[in-house]
Structure 1
């Protein structure tokens, strides 16, 4: 049984494919989302279906792997049964790969009034909201209200925050500036709030400084060493008692384990991560393996990055350890192979750390494009992403500026007067 169709779960299923085992992959969605490009959906650069691929299409060539659409509710550890609202599945071995969710660090109002970037629905909702803000700002309203509508605040200067800030700045000062000639774009502000003394704090200083300089050049206001105290429907309250009027708060400051595992009785680390042995098993429940954002490996000096490459490697390793156990071979401890990190900041601009070598500018940007296209699943998705990127690059145009209806999609309340 594999719970979760993200990077860890999907690559575990692929590893177990065509082996003498029966595999069931369970997920609440019937598609896999390529999360590294989700921010481009919110920035009107890509369609949602460009970064999603049907799980059944991925698995249909593997006769021993089947998919079940279900929302996992609980697990009976003694009977080894996984329950959804209307489904129960018995397992011999279980790989938990349910991923992560947004961490708000107990900041009042952050969960209620902030936009997140963890699901396709959230990406579409944020795109809708940004475009609506410009529609409302184009009406005859007072200057204070217009400034509030056109201030976009991103909490968190990590990779997602930096990438979205760059993409949003290009959207605003490119297509939207042509769409709304009645708006004075001096009112428009993109603000990044970061608690540390730099953006991309896990990168080398030269790359951090380069990224910060590029954001400033793109008219992004970066507020370093700044803490958020409270988020309200139309304001952000900072620790220094300043109040930032804004209709839009995008929270990218942290992630934590999917709360689905709360109450299951497992040992947890910071952020609700499940403590696992070096083999990725849970101590006392050696039939359960935990991979991806949900796992915290014991006896390591640092927590593994919550990234797609780490999840993929863990998914493959857990699957291989299960096969080793079934054939009587010894299991091996998981060793993360750091292949580097890349962040794009905008047109022709990116930073990349590969081994001990650092790259910036156009070359890093090309590397980033190639890596994303290679890792996307499906020929159609790669083709459509390449076409949309080419249109954006050559014509300075983003055709996906659509406000689409979303059913049952909560959005932060705002005064639409």
Structure 2
């Protein structure tokens, strides 16, 4: 049943049944989808614009990178999403090149310009390397489906090489002590301590080193002090070398230079230290603030614009900066639909008020931290179970939920045998999958021992 009909069935009448406003939603992430869903329920013509034909559930991308889930488990076709919104919703696979506010046109690199009455900017963000030399060129990220699969291949290649080259070690450094960094470090540590003995019985776990580097004094800085302490202890228990108050000065070919002058060997660097604006978004001509985020007022309207709103990680409210998390993006997207209704009716706009529902992060098997807003804080297996249930429920599509539940459940039940059963492509020296090269052109994977 289309969503507008579903809303009407429960007593919500669409605000527009004729003279429907045309709303272009730039970006198919949490904020963009929430806005599109609410706008469609009000009867607007909605067009979602995204360079990818799918949306990605980013909180579980680290599971893709470490072999726990397949990319199809955490992605969902945006065309399928808009089809469920009703007859007045569309999807355009394209990148926005410019926004003509005078002609009210969104210019894209694929197809004709898209006319609008209102625009919702929900373009999200990408990795922010803070100008650190070598970081952009020599780091792997897990912010997108493609980068997560690339990281998966790199991890797989190094693990496979350990079995054939007895002189090798695998030193992986995760930069950033937020949820993504903590979750990745914990999973890799368990892959080392549990998976390697089961899958690579001839490889000593002493040849694999996992280091988590955080510039600030704490891991999971926004969390309660007791939860931060628990997180650090759990990571150290799993064999992670945790280094807080440690800055990265440079990322080199096979090492990382720290701010204190110390050098750590590094076969792989996973960058989870922060996010920044997309370059194209910076070029759209709107006022930007910290991290290149588009600045809005307390009503979510972009400064200097009366028909353009911005939500999610790529936006910042000038009087009330919010954490770059899914919940603020979703709540902002939902409010935009009400704002469009108010503007069309000549009514005053609402101020955005964020309702904090709490935060959570997983550390590894049976270990997580949950901090509910104005409520309990808990750790261990109960927290881990809550984390699993909420994340599976939050996935789009019944197939994705079932597949993720099966994959995560299988990994949990066979943990002692398959915690490290990651499958990927072996990469050559130039970073290409070895399987795609002719036999005569397949060089051995690079190693520190070859230097």
Report how many aligned residue pairs link the two structures: 406
Partner of 1:403: 424
In structure 1, what is the Cα distance between the partners aligned to 2:292 and 2:359? 25
Distance 2:43 2:402 in 1: 35
Deviates more, 1:276-285 or 1:205-214: 276-285
User: What is the CA-CA distance between 1:257 and the residue it aligns to?
Assistant: 2.1
State how 1:112-127 maps to structure 2 within 5 Å: 112-127=137-152
- TM (norm. structure 1) is 0.94
Stretches of structure 2 lacking an aligned partner (at least 5 in a row): 1-23, 433-444
- Secondary structure of 1:86's counterpart equals coil
Question: Which residue in the other structure is 1:50 paired with?
Answer: 73
* CA displacement 1:47-72 (0-9 Å, x = unmatched): 00001111111221311111111122
Q: What is the CA–CA distance in structure 2 between the aligned matches of 1:3 and 1:353, rounded to whole Å?
A: 32
Correspondence for 1:203: 223
- After TM superposition, the structure 1 = structure 2 runs for residues 162-311 of structure 1, keeping only pairs within 5 Å, are 162-300=182-320, 303-311=321-329
User: Paired residue for 1:77?
Assistant: 101
TM-score, with normalisation over the residues of structure 2? 0.87
**Deviation string, structure 1 residues 135-168 (Cα, Å, up to 9, x no partner):** 22222353xxx23xx1110001111100111111
Which of 87-96 and 394-403 deviates more? 394-403
Q: Distance between the aligned counterparts of 1:299 and 1:140, measured in 2?
A: 56
Q: Secondary structure of the equivalent of 1:286?
A: coil
- Residue 316 of structure 2 aligns to a residue whose secondary structure is strand
- Distance, in Å, in 1 between the alignment partners of 2:45 and 2:408 is 40
1:362 alignment partner, one of 371, 375, 381: 381
State yes or no: 1:30 paired with 2:48: no
Q: Residue 267 of structure 1: CA displacement?
A: 1.6
User: Which of 150, 163, 166 does residue 138 from structure 1 map onto?
Assistant: 163
263 and 140 in structure 1: CA distance in 2 versus 1, 3 angstrom threshold: closer
Q: Distance in 2 between matches of 1:370 and 1:97?
A: 27
Superposed displacement of residue 399, structure 1: 8.4
Note the C-alpha offset of 1:182. 2.2
Q: What secondary structure sits across from 1:26 in the alignment?
A: strand
Residue 343 in structure 1 maps to residue 364 in structure 2: no
On the 8 A contact 2:186/2:235 being kept in 1, the answer is yes
- Asked whether the 8 Å contact 2:297–2:318 carries over to 1, the reply is yes
Aligned residue in 2 for 1:322: 340
Contact 1:18–1:63 (Cα < 8 Å) also in 2: no
Which residue of the partner structure matches residue 391 of structure 1?
410
Equivalent residue, structure 2, for 1:20: 43
- 1:302-337 per-residue CA deviation (whole Å, 9 max, x = no partner) reads x21111111111111112211221122321010111
CA–CA separation in structure 1 for the residues paired with 2:304 and 2:55: 31
3-state DSSP class of the match of 2:307?
strand
Structure 1 residue 400: Cα displacement: 6.1
Write out the 4+ residue segments of structure 1 that deviate beyond 4 Å after TM superposition: none
Q: Secondary structure at the match of 2:306?
A: strand
Distance in 2 of aligned mates of 1:130 and 1:166: 14
Question: Mind listing any 5+ residue stretches in structure 1 that lack a counterpart?
Answer: none
Instruction: Name the stretch that deviates more: 83-92 or 38-47.
Output: 83-92
Computing the radius of gyration from Cα coordinates, the structure with the larger value is 2
The CA RMSD measured in Å over matched residues stands at 1.8
- What is the alpha-carbon distance in structure 2 between the residues aligned to residue 190 and residue 260 of structure 1? 35
Distance 1:400 1:24, change over 3 A: farther
Paired residues for 1:3-14 under 5 Å: 3-14=26-37
SS in 2 for 1:203: coil
Deviations 1:11-32 (A, max 9, x none): 1110011433211111111111
